[in-house]
């Protein structure tokens, strides 16, 4: 009888990546099938949310678990889901993510000023069109007016993507690269793939840096829950501010803090972010390194 667990443990990077992509395609197609069964009985917005849920589960959440079963001897260890939470580290990560919001906005604002050469005018028009369509889709999802709908949005747009994307990118792709390449290469290559797959070209570089930070968090702690928490805070704060703004509360535009007249806040946030990066490294990595 063939032993399925760890069947492809000796496979190379390309083979494992193809296996992961294959599982993602299979589960995503199944998710689309489920969506088509129920979309006819749902309203337009509920149909969109069901599609978002099926996509997140099919593309990001389920494939890493199946992949880890077939391609590793210890799936939960490979995915870095076998360690307990350190609440002090979580507190530091949450604080860090809140502090760097203006810095992310500033970097996004600079990224949005990117202009391609005239030879790539068609590509640039497609990029802008993709950004506008995604912005409209996101606005449809986040424009809610009850606490129940807000809670579901936090689950759908913040929690599930945070867990699924970190599981898929940091837990799996970075883990595959790390087995055969240097850790720095694995972190930045994964971050580049993570940013590119979002298809938001005018936010590519801030998302690249954010993905690299999550990669270093995993490397330092060997605990996937820390980047999951960081990712969740990044998504959840935006959803909360959009909810407050849509319901008449006087709150600042979360995406503009640190840009324009408040650029000094963005620069200060950037400096604090650099300091916080090395602080987290010394707090999480050095303290978790066994003494010789």
Q: What are phi and psi of 240, to 5 degrees?
A: -65, -45
Pair (65, 106) in one structural domain: no
Which pLDDT does position 132 carry in this prediction?
Answer: 80
> Each residue's pLDDT tens digit in the chain (292 positions)?
567 788 888 899 999 999 999 999 999 999 988 888 877 665 678 888 888 899 999 999 999 999 999 999 999 999 999 988 899 999 999 999 999 999 999 999 999 887 878 777 787 787 788 778 887 878 888 888 899 999 999 999 999 999 999 999 999 999 999 988 999 999 999 999 999 998 888 889 999 999 999 999 999 999 999 999 999 999 999 999 999 998 988 888 999 999 999 999 999 999 999 999 999 999 887 755 544 4
Write down which residue in 46, 78, 110 finishes a domain.
Answer: 78
Q: Quote the Cα angle for 228-61-132, to 5°.
A: 80
Dist CA 215 CA 171 (whole Å)? 9
Instruction: Locate 47 and state its tokens.
Output: 């149909």
Which pLDDT does position 103 carry in this prediction?
Answer: 96
Pair (167, 239) in one structural domain: yes
Pair (146, 121) in one structural domain: yes
The answer to whether 150 and 247 have CB atoms below 8 angstroms apart is no
The model carries a pTM of: 0.92
Dist CA 232 CA 284 (whole Å)? 19
* Dihedral angle over CA of 95, 101, 107, 110, nearest 10: -170
End-to-end CA distance of the chain: 44
Pair (195, 215) in one structural domain: yes
Pair (11, 133) in one structural domain: no
Pair (46, 103) in one structural domain: no
Q: Which domain holds residue 146?
A: 82-288
Which pLDDT does position 291 carry in this prediction?
Answer: 47
Which pLDDT does position 292 carry in this prediction?
Answer: 40
What are the CA-CA distances from residue 233 to residues 40, 92, 103, 161, 239 (Å)? 33, 12, 15, 11, 10
Dist CA 32 CA 37 (whole Å)? 9
Q: Total domain count for the chain? A: 2
Dist CA 15 CA 22 (whole Å)? 10
Write down which residue in 78, 94, 113 finishes a domain.
Answer: 78
Pair (103, 27) in one structural domain: no
The answer to whether 209 and 107 have CB atoms below 8 angstroms apart is yes
Q: Write the DSSP string, the chain.
A: ----TTTTTT--HHHHHHHHHHHHHHHHHHHHHHHHHHGGGS-HHHHHHHHHHHHHIIIIIHHHHHHHHHH-SSHHHHTT-SS---HHHHHHHHHHHHHTHHHHHHHHHHHTT----GGGHHHHHHHHHHHHHHHHHHHHHH---SHHHHHHHIIIIIIHHHHHHIIIIIIIIHHHHHHHS-HHHHHHHHHHHHHHHTT-GGGHHHHHHHHHHHHHHHHHH--THHHHHHHHHHHHHHHHHHHHHHTT-----TTTTTSGGGHHHHHHHHHHHHHHHHHHIIIIIIHHSPP-
Write down which residue in 23, 51, 78 finishes a domain.
Answer: 78
Pair (109, 140) in one structural domain: yes
Pair (184, 67) in one structural domain: no
Rg, the chain, Cα only: 20
CA 36 to chain centre: 26
Pair (149, 232) in one structural domain: yes
Dist CA 153 CA 140 (whole Å)? 11
Dist CA 71 CA 22 (whole Å)? 13
Burial of residue 32 (number of CB atoms within 10 Å: 0-12, 13-18, 19+): middle
Pair (59, 90) in one structural domain: no
Q: What are phi and psi of 114, to 5 degrees?
A: -60, 130
Pair (71, 160) in one structural domain: no
């Amino acid at each position: 009888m063939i032993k399925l667990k760890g069947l492809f443990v000796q496979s190379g990077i390309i083979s494992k990546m193809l296996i992961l992509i294959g599982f993602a395609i299979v589960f995503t197609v199944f998710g689309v099938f489920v969506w088509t069964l129920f979309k006819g009985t749902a309203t337009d917005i509920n149909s969109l949310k069901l599609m978002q849920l099926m996509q997140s589960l099919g593309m990001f959440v389920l494939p890493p678990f199946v992949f880890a079963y077939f391609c590793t001897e210890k799936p939960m260890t490979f995915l870095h889901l076998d360690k307990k939470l350190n609440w002090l580290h979580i507190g530091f990560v949450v604080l860090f993510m809140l502090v760097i919001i203006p810095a992310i906005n500033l970097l996004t604002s600079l990224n949005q000023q990117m202009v391609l050469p005239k030879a790539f005018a068609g590509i640039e028009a497609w990029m802008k069109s993709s950004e506008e369509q995604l912005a409209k889709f996101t606005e449809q999802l986040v424009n809610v007016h009850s606490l129940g709908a807000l809670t579901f949005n936090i689950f759908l747009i913040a929690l599930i993507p945070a867990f699924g994307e970190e599981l898929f990118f940091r837990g799996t792709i970075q883990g595959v690269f790390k087995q055969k390449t240097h850790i720095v290469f694995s972190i930045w290559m994964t971050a580049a793939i993570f940013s590119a797959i979002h298809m938001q070209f005018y936010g590519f570089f801030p998302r690249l840096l954010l993905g690299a930070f999550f990669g270093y968090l995993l490397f330092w702690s060997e605990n996937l829950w820390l980047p999951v928490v960081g990712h969740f805070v990044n998504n959840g704060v935006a959803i909360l501010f959009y909810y407050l703004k849509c319901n008449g509360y006087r709150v600042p535009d979360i995406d503009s803090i640190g840009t324009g007249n408040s650029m000094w806040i963005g620069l200060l946030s950037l400096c604090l972010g650099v300091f916080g990066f090395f602080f987290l490294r010394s707090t999480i990595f050095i303290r978790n390194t066994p003494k010789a």
